[in-house]
Amino acid sequence: MGAMGVWGFVRDPANAAALQALSAVAVVMLTVFMVIFMKRQTRILRLQADLQDRQARIESTLASLEYAPIIAAEFAGDYDSSANRILLKNGGRGPAHNIRGHLWVRTAAQEWNFLEVEAQPVNLNAGDSGEVMVQLERVGKLRPTFEGIEPEANDRWVLHYGDMLGHTWHTTCNIDDQGRSLPLRYFRSWSPAHWSALPADTRKLCVTCLRDETRRTAADCRQR
């Protein structure tokens, strides 16, 4: 059918119904095509967004690991009923700044008292070693002296330190990731994300965090 034949077919009123049917079919087919096309484009955009988000998380994790100050700790060989220090080593790739913390001691009355620790040095570069201690006479007044006491199983050590990115890290002993104090007898280093995911009762054991938050709140109130 030539061009004139097609035009004549279109102009013929007898073919109006057929033309409407063809138009309806064309519209339906075009609509279906557009829906399929848009769904495919939406799926592609979603995949691209997911990939970008995953890449951003990976880059953020790598950056954090690059500057992570992972402080490992262990009990000194003479850690007994008069023990007052633990040994530290920065096993991470970034420096640890302003090491602070507390030793929680369970008394004979089954009450928990905390003592501030003294870090030497207060900053540890990657691979460096140090120690933290409390005053021996002070811890001696709190810790029970009866036979059978195991300070390694009872003492709660909570260290608080910062990295180069301004994040806060922790190293603890006898605190598990369910928020219960157990005699684990090993130290664990907590990243900022892991620490923030712990129960509030566990995070409250870091007196340094509580004091820092109180100071920040007071400073904000003064500025208002």
Please, are residues 94 and 69 in contact by the beta-carbon 8 Å criterion? yes
pLDDT at 27: 76
For 22-74, the pLDDT digits (tens) are: 777 777 788 878 888 888 888 888 888 887 888 777 666 666 667 889 999 99
DSSP code of 176? Answer: -
pLDDT at 157: 94
pLDDT at 7: 55
pLDDT at 78: 75
Sheet holding 97-106, edge to edge: 112-116, 97-106, 156-162, 168-173, 187-190
The answer to whether the predicted template modeling score (pTM) of the entire model surpasses 0.75 is no
For 79-114, the pLDDT digits (tens) are: 776 778 899 999 998 999 999 999 999 888 888 999
Left, alpha or beta for 166 (phi > 0: left; psi -120 to 50: alpha)?
left
Share of the chain above pLDDT 70, in %: 79
Report the run of H or E that residue 114 belongs to, with start and end.
Answer: strand 112-116
Distances (CA, A) of 179 to 56, 98, 182: 30, 25, 9
**Phi/psi at 76 (nearest 5 deg)?**
-65, 160
